[in-house]
Copies of this chain bind each other. A is one copy, B any other.
Amino acid sequence: MVNLDKAKMEEYAASLSSIQEAQRRISPFVQETPLLTSSSLDHLAQANLYFKCELFQRGGAYKFRGASNAVLSLPDDVASKGVITHSSGNHAAAVALVAKMRGIPAWIVMPHNAPKCKVESVKRYGGSVCFVERCMDTREEACRKLQAETGGSIIHPFNDARTISGQGTIGLELLEKLPQLDAIVVPISGGSLISGISVAAKAIKPAIKIFGVEPTGADDVAQSKAAGKLVILSQTSTIADALRGNLGPLTWPIARDLVDDVITVSDEEIVRAMRMCYEILKVVVEPSGAAGLAAVLSTKVQSKRTEFELKHIAIILTGGNVDLSLLSDFFKGN
């Protein structure tokens, strides 16, 4: 049960006002992404579902919101030295894109196994890619090294107040268009998205439920909430490449206090939901992008729907950056 403690809300890395400020800063550059509905999916879920299509965001994922808020808030003299980040893909492309818009260099540390299309996006936007091993320590060390060499600013993919506030603008858009919402379902990786959305949505409508979604093979938030402390997984296993991260010191307190529950979904459930996104909603999602629909169709959310009388549920379709050559593998035999 979530307890909304006003004093506590002020201690988080983001607040309603920092998110509103982010909205003023980034709104000339970001897309206010459309909401899609489907009577077939409503029928399956026995609820009114609203799909927030962040795959139509610039760069193909919600990450452009946080990245643009962070990069655009740098003073000119600092920004001119460039920006540095590490990311398995979507945040990487977003930082490269906003750096290109601002006319400053971007250095992006990426794991060797990042999807090809995500690496290509970074290059297309003019970012310099440095490949490293998958491990988080190696990535952060590579960033610090680049910073020492260039004097650039590190834009952390999730453990950064500016990033969290940028992602939170989705919460503002949702509740402006859909004040009737009973719940928002949000995939979790490093937690900037669910943190920003939780802070914005619960500040505007305290009764709203926020459900996180994780692959069963990368369930660090479910484990952390069960243990009451931040659990870091050294190994993860899921096809959802954008959901392999762990929470950080800034996102954990928000996930701990404001996220009502975390639903875990199998890779099979993710692929089934992905197929529905293509066949019914006609949108191109990456596996991580479909995790929210997978959760809503799982028996776990279905029982919550009854328990809390959830009639209007928003699902964040987080991103659409997928190698087309892999689609046939995903959909084989499903």
The CB with the most chain B CB atoms within 10 A, among A39, A282, A328, is that of A282
Count residues of chain A with CB under 8 A from any CB of chain B.
22
Kindly identify, within residues 268 to 283 of chain A, every residue whose CB is under 8 Å from any CB belonging to chain B.
Answer: 275, 278-279, 281-283
Of the stretches A169-177, A231-239, A319-327, the one at the interface is A319-327
B324 touches A331 (CB 8 A): yes
A121, closest chain B residue (CB): B279
Whole-angstrom CA separation of A56 from B282 in the bound complex: 7
A319, closest chain B residue (CB): B282
Mask: chain A, 19-56; 1 = CB below 8 Å from B; 0 = not: 00000000000000010100100000000000000011
A324, closest chain B residue (CB): B331
How many monomers of this protein are in the complex? 2
A117 touches B328 (CB 8 A): no
Kindly identify, within residues 249 to 281 of chain A, every residue whose CB is under 8 Å from any CB belonging to chain B.
Answer: 275, 278-279, 281
A282 touches B279 (CB 8 A): no
Which residue from B39, B282, B320, B324 sits with its C-beta under 8 Å from A60? Answer: B282
Whole-angstrom CA separation of A281 from B283 in the bound complex: 9
| A323 → B minimal CB distance (Å) | 9
Whole-angstrom CA separation of A279 from B325 in the bound complex: 11
* 14 A-B pairs whose Cβ atoms sit less than 8 Å apart in the complex: A34-B34, A36-B56, A55-B282, A56-B282, A60-B282, A275-B324, A279-B284, A279-B324, A282-B285, A283-B283, A284-B284, A324-B331, A325-B331, A328-B328
